[in-house]
Amino acid sequence: MKIAICTLGCKVNQYETQAMERLLRARGHEIVDFAQAADVYVVNSCSVTAVSDQKSRQALHKIRRQRPGAVLALCGCYAQTHPEDMRELDVDLIAGTGDRTGFITLLEQAADERARVTAIDRVFDRREFEVLPAGGLEDRTRAMLKVEDGCVNFCAYCIIPYARGPVRSLPLERAAEQAASLAAAGYREIVLTGIEISSWGADLKNGLSLVDLIETVCAAAPGVRIRLGSLEPRTVTEDFCRRCADLPDLCPQFHLSLQSGCDETLRRMNRKYDTARYLQSVELLNSHFDRPALTTDLITGFPEETEEEFRQTLDLIRKCGFARMHIFPYSIRPGTPAAKMAQVPKAVKAERARRAAAAAEEMRRSYLQGCAGQTYPVLFEQPKGSRFFGHAPNYTEVLAGTADAALHNRIRNVRITGTDGEILTGEILED
């Protein structure tokens, strides 16, 4: 069969789609682009915001309209968390976020029998990490390695614990095996991803933590760059920073989740830190790494957020000097505690998002300007315009060389000569 998959949402979804594609190919199926004619279409959905839910529905409606004879399947977080919506969707197969291998079998059955199938499990009954094949697309330089699933933080705004269930960790030895396999396959960078990787090891009950995993992966794939997914501030301790700084292949880019720079707002969010602890994490990273790129997420207009609380957030983000920020106006997630709080008007949420984005743009430009004159080992990926595009270890985007150069999947030292505020430009140095 020809099967097309549309992936919405986070790196975990992207990883799981790539794993499913590998499993489908192993069973003799052909993977085609979602815009092409196919026998089966799959939407791997996200539900982190109301917009995410809408995108899933739109993708399903569009395919049903354009390809009425095709088998249509929905999996992922939206299916797991909104069973009431599923009754209204004209979909042949509905599954959640668990048992991706089993989902493929159900997909084949749905194609053969053309009967509507719903397979949603009890998410909080999950106890085992589902090991899937790691990797990426054939022409990629970077591979994702999912090392954790689930979350038990229960932030007041977040529906993801209800979509993913409790924390489950990829065992250390399996992580080492998969990292070594990716290195042998030629990948030059591995991204450790998960729903909440800071909690890796909590379910294993053996005293190991995320930094032990990082050291193991680095040892299993020497010479391969290792990049971390989103971290919680509690993870960043003196011991964590000291041990990470001793790893030459660990990329000095840290996505440190913030959400708000006001203690009162953080309390309403049920976040597990305050601004003092967050700043301590920032200071530790800056003291152990040379100009690390610190990135973050921010929610504007969280319920009951006052103008003064938002001003405190603006003050804090400027103190942190982020290299990049992802800014989201608050989105109601039904069933979460925040949905029952007094809501901030939509226009106010949007206006605060614009102000935060302006501050973020200033900080990004400042960070990039500080890269001028530095030399970075750049992992080149693809031509872009007249030059070649790649990423420095701090995940800044770099243009250098010429488009016709044989630079794909190669790491070359680049001296940074300037920036346009978004991308760095530089000159490739002779080896």
What percent of the chain has pLDDT above 90?
Answer: 94
Residue 289 · residue 242 · CB < 8 Å: no
The model's confidence at residue 83, banded by pLDDT at 50, 70 and 90, is confident
The CATH class given to the 2-121 domain equals alpha beta
Confidence of residue 140 (pLDDT cuts 50, 70, 90): confident
Q: How far apart are CA 351 and CA 196, in angstroms?
A: 30
Domain 375-428 has CATH 2.40.50.140: yes
Which pLDDT belongs to residue 136? Answer: 63
The greatest distance separating any two alpha carbons of the chain, rounded to the nearest whole angstrom, comes to: 63
Mean pLDDT taken over the chain: 95
Which stretch of DSSP H or E encloses residue 225? strand 225-228
**pLDDT at residue number 235:** 97
Are 322 and 285 contacting, i.e. CB atoms less than 8 angstroms apart?
Answer: no
- Neighbour-count burial for 241-272, b at 16+ CB within 10 Å, e otherwise: bebbbeeebbbbbbbbbbbbbbbebbebbebe
Lowest-pLDDT range of 75-89, 330-344, 355-369: 75-89
| Cβ pair 237, 284 in contact under 8 A | yes
Band the pLDDT of 234: cuts 50, 70, 90: very high
Q: Are 300 and 330 in contact (CB under 8 A)?
A: yes
The arrangement of secondary structure in 142-369, i.e. its CATH architecture, is Alpha-Beta Horseshoe (3.80)
Dihedral, 325, 330, 336, 339 alpha carbons, nearest 10? 160
Residues of the chain above pLDDT 70, percent: 99
Q: Which two structure tokens, joined as six digits, stand for 226?
A: 């290792």
Cα distance between residue 294 and residue 90, in whole Å: 43
- Give mean pLDDT, residues 409-423: 96
| d(C-alpha 227, C-alpha 392), whole Å | 11
Instruction: Assess whether pLDDT exceeds 70 at residue 311.
Output: yes
Label residue 379 exposed, middle or buried (CB < 10 Å: 0-12, 13-18, 19+).
Answer: buried
What Rg do the C-alpha atoms of the chain give, in angstroms? 22
Collapsing DSSP to helix, strand or coil, 376 comes out as: strand
Which residue would you say has higher pLDDT here, 84 or 79?
79
pLDDT in tens, 168-209: 999 999 999 999 999 999 999 999 999 999 999 999 999 999
Q: Which pLDDT does position 154 carry in this prediction?
A: 97
- The single residue listed with the structure tokens 């003064």 is 308
304: enclosing H helix or E strand: none
Does residue 144 carry a pLDDT above 90? yes
Q: What residue spans define the domains of the chain?
A: 2-121, 142-369, 375-428
pLDDT confidence band for 221 (50 / 70 / 90): very high
Q: Quick check: helix, strand or coil at residue 18?
A: helix
pLDDT band at 137 (very low <50, low <70, confident <90, very high): low
Is residue 252 within 8 Å of residue 376, measured between CB atoms? no
Cα-based distances in Å from 12 to 55, 105, 353: 18, 21, 26
Q: How far apart are CA 97 and CA 90, in angstroms?
A: 20
Fold agreement between 2-121 and 142-369 = no
pLDDT at 195: 97
The Cα 295–Cα 323 span in angstroms is 6
Whether the per-residue pLDDT at 431 is higher than 80: the answer is no
Mean pLDDT check: name the lowest of 306-310, 327-331, 363-367, 404-408. Answer: 404-408
Decide if pLDDT at 167 tops 90: yes
Kindly state the tokens that stand for 266.
Answer: 């953080």
Nearest to 424 by CA among 394, 409, 254: 394
